[in-house]
Amino acid sequence: MAKYMLIMRGSDETREKMMDTPFEEILDIMGRYNDELIRAGVLIAAEGLDDASTGVVVDFTGEAPIVTDGPYGETKELFGGFYILDVASKDEAVAWAKRLPSLPGMKIEIRRVPGIDEFPQDNKWIIQEREWRERTGQL
């Protein structure tokens, strides 16, 4: 099994369409999808994000980091939330992404999450992280 992150990306327009949908309806639609993931035993984590206008951006393009408040001006894509699934393959992650309830214009980016065993096991930081993961029940 491998972990894959499904990154939900929408635009200002898809966000507006979502805001026009009653919240209870959104909860019902997403709840049914989440239940499918849970029943299939593939869901590790899932979170939606607050409105972009409440966030900040730390920009490292200059000499010193610059922090600016959201919104970010004209946006073509906003990172709206994510799922982390433990599935057998990228193809299975794609199949789940295709079933994710979404609005026209949304995109789902799929990226594999490398496991700690894929990093040099003699590195002091990897050793420390492994110990932390074991202590917190993540391994």
Its pTM stands at 0.83
Angle, vertex CA 34, rays to CA 110 and CA 115, nearest 5: 45
Distances (CA, A) of 68 to 1, 41, 71: 40, 40, 9
pLDDT of residue 51: 79
Hunting for tokens 């949304």 — which residue is that? 106
pLDDT of residue 91: 97
Q: How far is CA 13 from the centre of its chain?
A: 20
User: Tell me: the pLDDT tens digits for 78-95?
Assistant: 788 999 999 999 999 999
Top mean-pLDDT range of 54-63, 69-78, 99-108, 115-124: 115-124
Q: Among residues 103, 83, 96, which one has the least CA distance to residue 11?
A: 103
Q: Among residues 74, 69, 73, which one has the least CA distance to residue 55?
A: 69
DSSP 71: P
Which range has the worst mean pLDDT, 12-26, 53-67, 78-92? 12-26
Rounded CA gap, 78 and 67, in Å?
Answer: 18
Domains and CATH numbers, the chain: 2-135 (3.30.70.1060)
In sequence order, the β-bridge partners of residue 40 are: none
Distance from the first to the final alpha carbon of the chain: 14
